[in-house]
């Protein structure tokens, strides 16, 4: 029997890791964390994918050592710290730089690592003091500049606030400090404040082997404002695009430099990069795969994915095809709930969605009668309709999806 791969918290896109390794004859062991209940792609562990499921516990290193693991990978953002610690203890040949572990998690320390490495970074402050923030804004010439307010450790655009130039940042600042993370349930002790990067945002999905970084997918983001206008973190649609050296070469080179600065030598990384008038700027990096149904989208767009390339790396030591390949446009369209309440007619509206000419897949997380939150970010989307094929035809079907969505009825519940 082959040495097993260990997957920490195999949820979200992490549900795709065990099958990718199984296709190469490698079994998988799951290590589970205590998660908050959530709704979305990969919200439940697929127990049949694993030869053993082990809850996180104090003697985990010794338990896993007996299995002689081939590699240890995170399935989610929450799984990253434990996966990195276990890799250092059990598979040090595949470990990332331990001195940069906090830089890979903390959004302010992330920018600090870039700055120290000479990689262009965003002006950033990490603080719990409104007074310190006021002074920092003035000192850095940001009184008339737009700002970003967000938690130091988070994912899915949770509590990311866009503050207009000269706007009041105090309410957002206090929300981050007073409300726990949606993903972890833990309170934030500080707030990260940054200058706002303006431009076109990309998700650059990479895999790394022995310090060499390879492009696994390239996604162009299209986000819009929430209905109340407080955030710009509502996912409208994203588009898997072909790589062009002329258009994207600078972005990829910048991403590789950022990965080096963050000490990433092995594994997947989800890099959110804003292409500004001054060049690329890192929004943030997660030392794990991009979340959600991205693996199947990437396979359809390029013939491979982060999960496939990770299995190849840990089984063979590298990837065979180092250049990015391309097949077709894939456009996931995110469904939005305009208000919090009970869904009335979702099932009927999207019953025939598969008949769209460019339909690729459907991942709808709710049904009639379910309570849904108002959509304000990735985590509160109610589903994804993915389209594929000819881009012009896709755009026609995109408008058809939005027309159906405009007819969505939500019974708003009375406020107690």
Q: What is the residue extent of each domain of the chain?
A: 5-95, 123-195, 197-327, 336-374+389-416
- Kindly state which CATH superfamily the domain 197-327 is placed in: ATP-grasp fold, B domain (3.30.470.20)
Say yes or no: do domains 5-95 and 123-195 share a fold.
no
User: CA–CA separation, 27 vs 30, rounded Å?
Assistant: 10
Helix (H) or strand (E) holding 110: helix 107-116
Provide mean pLDDT across the span 329-357: 97
Q: What are the two backbone dihedrals, phi and then psi, of residue 413, each rounded to the nearest 5 degrees? A: -85, 145
228 has a pLDDT exceeding 80: no
Question: Is the alpha carbon torsion for 311, 312, 314, 318 positive or negative?
Answer: negative
- pTM value? 0.94
Q: What pLDDT band is residue 279 in, cutting at 50, 70 and 90?
A: very high
Could you tell me which residues come within 8 angstroms of residue 325 by beta carbon, excluding any fewer than 6 positions away? 302, 303, 304
User: CA–CA separation, 45 vs 50, rounded Å?
Assistant: 10
286 has a pLDDT exceeding 90: yes
User: CA–CA separation, 392 vs 93, rounded Å?
Assistant: 47
Domain 123-195 belongs to what topology?
Dna Ligase; domain 1 (3.30.1490)
136 has a pLDDT exceeding 70: yes
Looking at residue 413, what is its pLDDT?
A: 78
- 18-22, 172-176, 357-361: least confidently modelled range: 172-176
Q: Which CATH architecture best describes the domain 5-95?
A: 3-Layer(aba) Sandwich (3.40)
């Amino acid at each position: 029997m082959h040495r097993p791969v260990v997957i920490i918290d195999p949820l979200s896109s992490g549900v795709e890791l065990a099958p990718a390794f199984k296709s190469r004859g490698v079994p998988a062991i799951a290590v589970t964390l205590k998660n908050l209940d959530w709704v979305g792609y990969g919200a439940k562990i697929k127990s049949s994918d694993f030869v053993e499921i082990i809850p996180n516990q104090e003697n985990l290193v010794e338990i896993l050592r007996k299995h002689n693991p081939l590699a240890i990978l995170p399935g989610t953002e929450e799984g990253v710290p434990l996966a990195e610690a276990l890799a250092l203890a059990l598979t040090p040949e595949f470990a990332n730089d331990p001195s940069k572990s906090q830089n890979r998690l903390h959004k302010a320390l992330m920018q600090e690592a870039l700055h120290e490495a000479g990689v262009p970074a965003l002006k950033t402050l990490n603080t719990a003091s409104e007074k310190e923030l006021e002074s920092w804004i003035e000192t850095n010439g940001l009184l008339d500049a737009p700002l970003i307010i967000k938690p130091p450790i988070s994912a899915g655009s949770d509590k990311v606030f866009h503050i207009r130039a000269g706007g009041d940042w105090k309410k957002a600042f206090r929300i981050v400090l007073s409300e726990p993370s949606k993903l972890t349930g833990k309170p934030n002790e500080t707030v990260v404040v940054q200058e706002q990067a303006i431009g076109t945002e990309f998700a650059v999905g990479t895999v790394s082997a022995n310090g060499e970084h390879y492009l696994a997918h390239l996604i162009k983001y299209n986000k819009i404002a929430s209905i109340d206008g407080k955030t710009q973190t509502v996912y409208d649609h994203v588009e898997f695009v072909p790589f062009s050296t002329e258009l994207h070469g600078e972005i990829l080179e910048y991403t590789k430099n950022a990965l080096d600065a963050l000490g990433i030598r092995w594994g997947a990384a989800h890099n959110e990069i804003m292409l500004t008038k001054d060049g690329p700027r890192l929004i943030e990096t997660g030392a794990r795969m991009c979340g959600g149904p991205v693996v199947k989208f990437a396979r359809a767009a390029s013939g491979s994915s982060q999960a496939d390339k990770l299995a190849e790396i840990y089984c063979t030591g590298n990837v065979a095809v180092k250049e990015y390949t391309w097949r077709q446009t894939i456009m996931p369209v995110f469904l939005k709930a305009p208000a919090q309440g009970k869904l009335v007619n979702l099932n009927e509206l999207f019953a025939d969605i598969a008949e769209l000419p460019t339909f690729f897949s459907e991942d709808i997380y709710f049904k009639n009668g379910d309570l849904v939150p108002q959509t304000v970010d990735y985590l509160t989307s109610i589903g994804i309709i993915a389209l594929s094929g000819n881009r012009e035809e896709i755009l026609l079907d995109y408008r058809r999806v939005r027309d159906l969505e405009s007819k969505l009825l939500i019974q708003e519940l009375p406020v107690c």
